[in-house]
Amino acid sequence: MTLFITPAFAQTQPPGAPEAGVNVPPVAPESPELGHGAPPEGAHTEIGHEGVEDHGGAFPPFDPTYFGSQLLWLAITFGFFYWVLSKKLLPRLGGILEVRQDRIGADLAEAERSRAETDAAIAAYEQALAEARQKAGVIATETRERLNADLDARRKAIEADLTARVADAETRISAIKAQALNEVDAIATETTDAIVATLIGQSSPAEAAAAVATVRKG
Protein backbone atom coordinates (compact mmCIF):
# COMPACT_ATOMS: atom_id res chain seq x y z
CA MET A 1 0.00 0.00 0.00
CA THR A 2 2.66 2.47 0.97
CA LEU A 3 4.28 1.76 -2.33
CA PHE A 4 1.65 3.79 -4.17
CA ILE A 5 0.63 6.29 -1.57
CA THR A 6 4.15 7.36 -0.74
CA PRO A 7 4.69 9.73 -3.65
CA ALA A 8 1.48 11.53 -2.81
CA PHE A 9 2.48 11.81 0.81
CA ALA A 10 5.85 13.01 -0.25
CA GLN A 11 4.19 15.89 -2.09
CA THR A 12 1.66 16.96 0.49
CA GLN A 13 4.18 17.06 3.31
CA PRO A 14 6.45 20.03 3.57
CA PRO A 15 10.02 19.38 2.51
CA GLY A 16 12.04 18.08 5.36
CA ALA A 17 9.13 16.57 7.28
CA PRO A 18 9.59 12.96 8.38
CA GLU A 19 8.31 10.68 5.64
CA ALA A 20 6.68 7.49 6.80
CA GLY A 21 7.59 4.42 4.84
CA VAL A 22 10.27 6.01 2.73
CA ASN A 23 13.80 5.26 3.63
CA VAL A 24 15.49 7.95 1.60
CA PRO A 25 16.39 11.38 2.84
CA PRO A 26 13.96 14.04 1.59
CA VAL A 27 15.19 15.79 -1.46
CA ALA A 28 15.28 19.54 -1.54
CA PRO A 29 12.79 21.23 -3.85
CA GLU A 30 15.58 23.00 -5.66
CA SER A 31 17.24 19.78 -6.77
CA PRO A 32 17.68 19.67 -10.54
CA GLU A 33 15.07 17.79 -12.49
CA LEU A 34 16.02 14.42 -13.80
CA GLY A 35 13.80 14.79 -16.81
CA HIS A 36 10.55 12.96 -17.43
CA GLY A 37 11.71 10.21 -19.70
CA ALA A 38 12.58 6.68 -18.65
CA PRO A 39 12.89 6.80 -14.89
CA PRO A 40 14.49 3.72 -13.38
CA GLU A 41 11.71 1.26 -12.52
CA GLY A 42 11.14 -1.26 -9.80
CA ALA A 43 13.03 -0.22 -6.69
CA HIS A 44 10.94 0.99 -3.78
CA THR A 45 13.34 3.71 -2.81
CA GLU A 46 13.53 5.03 -6.31
CA ILE A 47 9.79 5.51 -6.53
CA GLY A 48 9.80 7.94 -3.64
CA HIS A 49 12.95 9.55 -4.88
CA GLU A 50 11.71 9.99 -8.40
CA GLY A 51 8.33 11.32 -7.29
CA VAL A 52 9.84 14.04 -5.18
CA GLU A 53 12.23 15.21 -7.82
CA ASP A 54 9.67 15.16 -10.59
CA HIS A 55 7.54 17.84 -8.97
CA GLY A 56 10.32 20.06 -7.90
CA GLY A 57 8.95 19.72 -4.36
CA ALA A 58 5.74 21.72 -4.83
CA PHE A 59 2.28 20.32 -5.34
CA PRO A 60 1.73 21.21 -9.02
CA PRO A 61 -1.75 22.78 -8.74
CA PHE A 62 -0.38 25.16 -6.08
CA ASP A 63 2.97 25.79 -7.75
CA PRO A 64 3.10 29.51 -8.57
CA THR A 65 5.83 29.04 -11.20
CA TYR A 66 3.32 28.78 -14.02
CA PHE A 67 0.56 31.02 -12.60
CA GLY A 68 1.50 33.83 -14.97
CA SER A 69 1.58 31.54 -17.95
CA GLN A 70 -1.73 29.91 -17.07
CA LEU A 71 -3.45 33.25 -16.51
CA LEU A 72 -2.15 34.64 -19.78
CA TRP A 73 -3.16 31.63 -21.82
CA LEU A 74 -6.51 31.38 -20.06
CA ALA A 75 -7.15 35.03 -20.89
CA ILE A 76 -6.18 34.47 -24.51
CA THR A 77 -8.13 31.24 -25.02
CA PHE A 78 -11.18 32.16 -22.96
CA GLY A 79 -11.22 35.64 -24.41
CA PHE A 80 -11.18 34.24 -27.91
CA PHE A 81 -13.85 31.68 -26.96
CA TYR A 82 -16.08 34.41 -25.52
CA TRP A 83 -15.57 36.60 -28.58
CA VAL A 84 -16.37 33.85 -31.08
CA LEU A 85 -19.41 32.70 -29.12
CA SER A 86 -20.89 36.13 -28.49
CA LYS A 87 -20.22 37.50 -31.98
CA LYS A 88 -20.72 34.49 -34.21
CA LEU A 89 -21.94 31.21 -32.81
CA LEU A 90 -24.54 32.20 -30.23
CA PRO A 91 -26.31 34.68 -32.55
CA ARG A 92 -26.29 31.95 -35.19
CA LEU A 93 -27.71 29.37 -32.79
CA GLY A 94 -30.23 31.83 -31.43
CA GLY A 95 -31.18 32.70 -35.00
CA ILE A 96 -31.76 29.05 -35.87
CA LEU A 97 -34.01 28.60 -32.84
CA GLU A 98 -35.86 31.84 -33.53
CA VAL A 99 -36.45 30.98 -37.19
CA ARG A 100 -37.79 27.61 -36.13
CA GLN A 101 -40.01 29.23 -33.50
CA ASP A 102 -41.36 31.65 -36.10
CA ARG A 103 -41.88 28.87 -38.58
CA ILE A 104 -43.73 26.77 -36.02
CA GLY A 105 -45.83 29.78 -35.10
CA ALA A 106 -46.63 30.50 -38.75
CA ASP A 107 -47.47 26.86 -39.40
CA LEU A 108 -49.73 26.76 -36.36
CA ALA A 109 -51.48 29.92 -37.53
CA GLU A 110 -51.88 28.39 -41.00
CA ALA A 111 -53.28 25.21 -39.47
CA GLU A 112 -55.63 27.26 -37.34
CA ARG A 113 -56.79 29.16 -40.43
CA SER A 114 -57.38 25.91 -42.31
CA ARG A 115 -59.31 24.55 -39.39
CA ALA A 116 -61.47 27.67 -39.29
CA GLU A 117 -62.09 27.28 -43.03
CA THR A 118 -63.08 23.67 -42.56
CA ASP A 119 -65.37 24.63 -39.71
CA ALA A 120 -67.00 27.29 -41.90
CA ALA A 121 -67.45 24.78 -44.72
CA ILE A 122 -69.01 22.27 -42.34
CA ALA A 123 -71.31 24.97 -40.95
CA ALA A 124 -72.34 26.03 -44.47
CA TYR A 125 -73.03 22.42 -45.38
CA GLU A 126 -75.04 21.90 -42.21
CA GLN A 127 -77.04 25.01 -42.95
CA ALA A 128 -77.72 24.01 -46.56
CA LEU A 129 -78.77 20.60 -45.36
CA ALA A 130 -81.10 22.10 -42.78
CA GLU A 131 -82.56 24.46 -45.39
CA ALA A 132 -83.08 21.66 -47.87
CA ARG A 133 -84.68 19.56 -45.19
CA GLN A 134 -86.96 22.42 -44.25
CA LYS A 135 -87.83 23.07 -47.87
CA ALA A 136 -88.58 19.39 -48.38
CA GLY A 137 -90.79 19.50 -45.32
CA VAL A 138 -92.62 22.52 -46.64
CA ILE A 139 -93.14 20.87 -50.02
CA ALA A 140 -94.39 17.70 -48.39
CA THR A 141 -96.80 19.64 -46.19
CA GLU A 142 -98.04 21.71 -49.11
CA THR A 143 -98.56 18.66 -51.25
CA ARG A 144 -100.34 16.87 -48.46
CA GLU A 145 -102.57 19.86 -47.84
CA ARG A 146 -103.28 20.27 -51.53
CA LEU A 147 -104.16 16.61 -51.86
CA ASN A 148 -106.29 16.74 -48.74
CA ALA A 149 -108.12 19.80 -50.03
CA ASP A 150 -108.65 18.16 -53.40
CA LEU A 151 -109.88 15.03 -51.75
CA ASP A 152 -112.17 17.01 -49.47
CA ALA A 153 -113.60 18.94 -52.37
CA ARG A 154 -114.28 15.82 -54.34
CA ARG A 155 -115.74 14.06 -51.35
CA LYS A 156 -117.98 17.03 -50.64
CA ALA A 157 -119.10 17.16 -54.26
CA ILE A 158 -119.90 13.49 -54.22
CA GLU A 159 -121.66 13.88 -50.88
CA ALA A 160 -123.66 16.81 -52.19
CA ASP A 161 -124.54 14.82 -55.29
CA LEU A 162 -125.55 11.88 -53.18
CA THR A 163 -127.61 14.09 -50.85
CA ALA A 164 -129.34 15.64 -53.85
CA ARG A 165 -130.08 12.27 -55.29
CA VAL A 166 -131.33 10.96 -51.94
CA ALA A 167 -133.55 14.01 -51.60
CA ASP A 168 -134.79 13.52 -55.13
CA ALA A 169 -135.51 9.89 -54.42
CA GLU A 170 -137.28 10.76 -51.19
CA THR A 171 -139.43 13.28 -53.04
CA ARG A 172 -140.26 10.70 -55.59
CA ILE A 173 -141.00 8.12 -52.92
CA SER A 174 -143.30 10.52 -51.04
CA ALA A 175 -145.01 11.41 -54.30
CA ILE A 176 -145.47 7.78 -55.15
CA LYS A 177 -146.61 7.14 -51.58
CA ALA A 178 -149.17 9.98 -51.74
CA GLN A 179 -150.35 8.80 -55.10
CA ALA A 180 -150.60 5.26 -53.79
CA LEU A 181 -152.54 6.46 -50.75
CA ASN A 182 -154.89 8.41 -52.97
CA GLU A 183 -155.38 5.32 -55.07
CA VAL A 184 -156.02 3.39 -51.82
CA ASP A 185 -158.78 5.91 -51.00
CA ALA A 186 -160.28 5.55 -54.45
CA ILE A 187 -160.10 1.74 -54.28
CA ALA A 188 -161.54 1.77 -50.73
CA THR A 189 -164.38 4.07 -51.79
CA GLU A 190 -165.10 1.97 -54.83
CA THR A 191 -164.91 -1.20 -52.83
CA THR A 192 -167.14 0.28 -50.10
CA ASP A 193 -169.59 1.54 -52.69
CA ALA A 194 -169.66 -1.86 -54.40
CA ILE A 195 -170.12 -3.70 -51.09
CA VAL A 196 -172.89 -1.28 -50.04
CA ALA A 197 -174.54 -1.61 -53.44
CA THR A 198 -174.41 -5.33 -53.20
CA LEU A 199 -175.76 -5.30 -49.64
CA ILE A 200 -178.52 -2.73 -49.94
CA GLY A 201 -178.95 -2.37 -53.61
CA GLN A 202 -178.27 1.25 -53.84
CA SER A 203 -175.02 3.06 -54.30
CA SER A 204 -173.88 6.40 -53.10
CA PRO A 205 -170.27 7.06 -54.04
CA ALA A 206 -170.26 10.34 -52.07
CA GLU A 207 -171.35 8.69 -48.83
CA ALA A 208 -168.89 5.87 -49.38
CA ALA A 209 -166.06 8.39 -49.86
CA ALA A 210 -167.09 10.24 -46.69
CA ALA A 211 -167.18 6.99 -44.77
CA VAL A 212 -163.69 5.98 -45.96
CA ALA A 213 -162.36 9.38 -45.05
CA THR A 214 -163.93 9.06 -41.56
CA VAL A 215 -162.40 5.62 -41.06
CA ARG A 216 -158.99 6.79 -42.21
CA LYS A 217 -159.10 9.71 -39.86
CA GLY A 218 -160.32 7.66 -36.96
Q: Which residues bind another protein (CB under 8 A)?
A: 3-5, 7-8, 11, 36, 39, 47, 50-51, 54-55, 59-63, 65-75, 77-78, 80-82, 84-86, 88-90, 92-97, 99-100, 103
61: burial class by Cβ within 10 Å (0-12, 13-18, 19+)?
Answer: exposed
Reported residue count of the chain is: 218
Of 81 and 125, the one with the shorter C-beta distance to another protein is 81
Of 98 and 161, the one with the shorter C-beta distance to another protein is 98
Question: What letters, b where the CB count within 10 A reaches 16 and e where it falls short, cover 133-146?
Answer: eeeeeeeeeeeeee
Whole-number minimum distance, CB 139 to another protein, in Å? 57
Whole-number minimum distance, CB 63 to another protein, in Å? 7
Of 68 and 218, the one with the shorter C-beta distance to another protein is 68
Whole-number minimum distance, CB 69 to another protein, in Å? 5
Complete DSSP assignment for 71-139: HHHHHHHHHHHHHHIIIIIHHHHHHHHHHHHHHHHHHHHHHHHHHHHHHHHHHHHHHHHHHHHHHHHHH
Whole-number minimum distance, CB 18 to another protein, in Å? 20
The Cα 73–Cα 85 span in angstroms is 18
Q: Is 3 within 8 Å of 42 (Cβ atoms)?
A: no
Of 42 and 218, the one with the shorter C-beta distance to another protein is 42
48: burial class by Cβ within 10 Å (0-12, 13-18, 19+)?
Answer: buried
Backbone phi, then psi, for 55, in 5-degree steps? -95, 5
Whole-number minimum distance, CB 140 to another protein, in Å? 58
Of 75 and 129, the one with the shorter C-beta distance to another protein is 75
Whole-number minimum distance, CB 29 to another protein, in Å? 14
